[in-house]
Each structure stands twice: as C-alpha cells, then as structure tokens.
Amino acid sequence: MEKAQETSRLDFGKMGYGCKHYRRRCKIRAPCCDEIFYCRHCHNESTRDHHEINRQEVERVICLICDAEQPAAQVCSHCGVRMGEYFCAVCKFFDDDINKGHYHCDDCSICRIGGKENYFHCKKCGSCYAVGLRNKHSCVENSMRNHCPICYEYLFDSLQETAVLKCGHTMHSSCFLEMLKHDKFCCPICSKSVIDMSKFWKKLDDEDEATTMPEDYQYKVWILCNDCNDTTEVLFHVIGQKCSHCNSYNTRTIAPPVLP
C-alpha cells in the first residue's frame, strides 16, 4: 500500500507546470548567471547581454511542487514527484510531454524529438535527419550547424522544424515555404533551384522562341549555370540564358558579350 502511494506521487502535477517551451515540474538554476528560469530557452530569451546557457552544465534545479532546490535528477529528493516524465541526465532536460518522442543523440550531444527509430545521424552534415533522407540527400559538411539564411536563427538546436534542400543546405521549413510564396525558388546560399523547375523552363522556351532579338542584340555571352555548375557560351536573349547542358535558365553571365 505504501509503495503504491509512493508510485502515484511520481505523476503528481504532470502537465500542469512549466513554460511556453516545455511542460515540466521544475525550474533550473543557470550556472552562468546563477539566476532561476523555467528552461534554457526562457534564459536565453530574457538575458540582456544575450549570453546562452550551456545545458549540460546545469547542476541545480528547483521543484515546482515543493520549492526544494537540489541536484538535477528526475525525481524530487524532497517530495518524491517526477520533475519530468522524460529526463536526460546528460542535457539536464525535463519534459512531461512524452508524445514528442524524445531521445538523446550521442553524436549531436543533445536531446532530439520525433522518435529515435525515425531518425539517423549524418556525420558529415552534423545532425540527425529523417530516415527517409538516408543516402538520398546531398551532404554538406556541418550544414545544420549554421544559421537559417532567412531568419538567421541557429538551426542545430532550434525548436522549429528544418527543411533539407536538394542542394544539401538547410533552413526552417516555415521560412522555406514563405520563400516559395514570394516566388523565390533558389537556395539563398548556393543559388541552386530548390524545386523541380522543368515546367517553368519549358514556358521560358516557348517565350524564347516567340521573341526575336534585334540584330544589335544578337551576340554571345559566357554563362555559369547555378544548377549544374557548367559554363557555356550561348546567344544572349532578353528572356534568359539557357544552359545547354541541363536546360536550366537559372544562370548568370560571367563574361562580357562576344560581339560579331
């Protein structure tokens, strides 16, 4: 009977405490400034000098049920509640919402969400990717350890979902969709096309054929294709310069015109 009461105490207050980032039954004492916050994100958002907490250096937590401060552990040593249904002793991370599918990645050295069975760690890209991308994405060294090229938030430990582009570069999925809404179809980093543009290239072919260039503009230019990186000499056209290697119009002029 006494053991049953102790077990039931573990879930007391579950999902009833926390902040906008996580549901948990404790606060953390930041090792960098010795102040108390609900989580590391609350700390990082509120500090005036914009310094960030090292999650693995957190040593002290405060139980939200009994206010007892103690070494970081899953169960409160004073009142016996579980301060987080999920607990990582490495990251000092607590969360009551286990439906997120938390798991700790040793290679990332942080906790991820989504279920360990659904992700693999790409050592070259430096982060966990969905298993559907295994051997099906372009590797870019440490591509996830960079800032989103649209909003400039650091991607590696961002709470937002990340999109892996065809070229291997990464950005927030929401930023990617917003970029497409504004008719921007090239990677902001390398300028490669981020979606299949073949239908659009066909429309440009039709416009090209329907538009005859005046004699004064009938000269050749050297172009670099952003999609295949090939360089070719082509006739200038006001509609655009088409790559003769991959048929893309995602090109740029790299040399002065060769006049007849």
The closest alpha carbon to 42, from 67, 69, 18, belongs to 18
Helix (H, G, I), strand (E, B) or coil at 203: helix
Helix or strand holding residue 254 (H, E):
strand 251-258
The strand pairing partners of 95, in sequence order, are 86
Paired strand residues for 61 = 28, 70
Give the DSSP letter of residue 243. P
pLDDT of residue 2: 47
**DSSP letters spanning 102-158:** -EEETTTTEEE-S-GGGEEEETTTTEEEEGGGTTSS---TTTTSSB-TTT--BSTT-
The secondary structure of residue 56, as a DSSP letter, is: G
A 10 A CB-CB count for 26 gives: 27
Number of Cα atoms under 13 Å in the Cβ half of residue 129: 24
Q: What's the pLDDT tens digit per position in 103-161?
A: 999 999 999 999 999 999 999 999 999 999 999 999 999 999 999 999 999 999 888 89
DSSP state of 8: H
Per the CB < 8 A criterion, the answer to whether 64 and 25 are in contact is: yes
Q: How confident is the prediction along the chain (260 residues), in pLDDT tens digits per residue?
A: 445 556 678 999 999 999 999 999 999 999 999 999 999 999 998 877 778 899 999 999 999 999 999 999 999 999 999 999 999 999 999 999 999 999 999 999 999 999 999 999 999 999 999 999 999 999 999 999 999 999 999 999 888 899 999 999 999 999 999 999 999 999 999 999 999 999 999 999 999 999 999 988 889 999 999 999 999 999 999 999 999 999 999 999 998 776 65
pTM of the model: 0.81
Rounded CA separation 79/67 (Å): 9
Residues 6 or more apart whose CB falls under 8 angstroms from that of 54 comprise 31, 32
What are phi and psi for residue 180, nearest 5 degrees? -65, -35
Q: Which of 128, 250, 139, 231 is nearest to 184 (CA)?
A: 250
Task: Return the residue matching tokens 């430990």.
Answer: 157
Half-sphere exposure of 165 (CA within 13 A, CB side): 30
CATH number of 198-258: 2.20.28.10
Structure tokens of 197?
């543009």
**In the chain, where are the structural domains located?**
2-100, 103-181, 198-258
Phi/psi at 116 (nearest 5 deg)? -60, -30
Cross-strand bridge partners of residue 110: 105
